[in-house]
Amino acid sequence: MTTYGMVIDVSRCTGCYNCFLACRDEHVGNDQRPIAASQPESGHKWIDVLEHERGKLPRVRVDHVPLPCQQCKDASCVSRAPDGAVYRREDGIVIIDPEKAKGHPQIVASCPYRVIHWNAAEQVAQKCTFCAHLLDQGWKEPRCVEACPTEALVFGDLDDPTSRISQLLKSKATEELHPEFGLAPSVRYVRLPKRFVSGEIALADRMSEPAAGVRVTLHDGTKAHDGATDLYGDFAFDELDAGASYRLRIAAPGYRPREIDIGARKDVDLGTIVLEPVSAGTP
């Protein structure tokens, strides 16, 4: 048995769009029925690259999250399609039948990931096929994976314990995109963007200089994450669990320490935190 899947490492994605361009190169003007009609010249993103911006200027993080069809095991596009117009192959690839799906625009709305597009000329819904037509000819991976210069996309057989993707799933923490949809996707992600907290430290008696190297510690109740301000006096902690509570402790010799309680329901930028000097004789 073969079950195809993909692991996407967000920390490796540079947002270069090579995957998107390779997808267009493969599918525009290339009719692959019964797997898919050709992709139209414009308007479709069978693999999209979502830009995810966090924080506030000047402390901003930008991540790129590639988004192909997630090839779900419990796909809503399959269960809601009329007359078997969308089906899952034995190798796990979900296919929209270009003939049976004709004239059924409601198929577009059956995917909560929003990866299905409407081809007005062909009157058919379309999406990523994992390049099934190439895999059926013996290719080892879809065009997007082949084109990715950073190996952010890893494709392979989930049923083969020796495959690179199986090894990766064993060695790295992965997660689903939108597990709340409950569709059991065959695409998993490494380092999806999480909450982050940032700020700048200034020293009250040296406001014109950046406070570099000030110790900043984030406590999550069980462990402490150590950090320090950079050359500009900025600090940031990433990959915080949404909804968890944290306590930030800032300490610099000769200055009063500060403690700030933080909720990570959303990204937090604390702005400029000024440390006051401990004057001689002050407790």
Name the site residues for ligand SF4 (rule: CB under 6 A): 13-19, 49, 64, 66, 69-72, 75-77, 94, 111, 113, 115-116, 127, 147-148, 150, 152-153, 183
Q: Spell out a b/e string for 90-126, using b for 16 or more CB atoms within 10 Å of the CB, else e.
A: ebbbbbbbbebbeebeebbebbebebbbbbeebebbb
Number of Cβ atoms within 10 Å of the Cβ of 221? 9
Residue type at position 126: Q
User: Token pair for residue 249?
Assistant: 């402790």
- Smaller CB separation from ligand SF4, 119 or 229: 119
**Phi, psi (degrees; rounded to nearest 5) at 49:** -125, 100
Output the smallest distance, CB 51 to ligand SF4, in A: 10
Output the smallest distance, CB 167 to ligand SF4, in A: 20
Handedness of CA 117, 120, 126, 131 (dihedral sign): negative
**Phi, psi (degrees; rounded to nearest 5) at 23:** -60, -45
Strand order in the sheet with 224-228: 224-228, 215-219, 245-251, 258-263
Output the smallest distance, CB 143 to ligand SF4, in A: 10
- Smaller CB separation from ligand SF4, 125 or 252: 125
- Smaller CB separation from ligand SF4, 189 or 237: 189
- CA–CA distance, 138 with 128 (Å, rounded to integer): 18
- Smaller CB separation from ligand SF4, 11 or 272: 11
- Smaller CB separation from ligand SF4, 66 or 142: 66
- Smaller CB separation from ligand SF4, 152 or 268: 152
Q: What is the DSSP track for 24-86? A: HHHHBT--BTTTBPPBPSSS--SEEEEEEEEEETTEEEEEEEEEE----TT-HHHHTSGGG-E
Output the smallest distance, CB 88 to ligand SF4, in A: 8
Output the smallest distance, CB 52 to ligand SF4, in A: 12
Output the smallest distance, CB 235 to ligand SF4, in A: 28
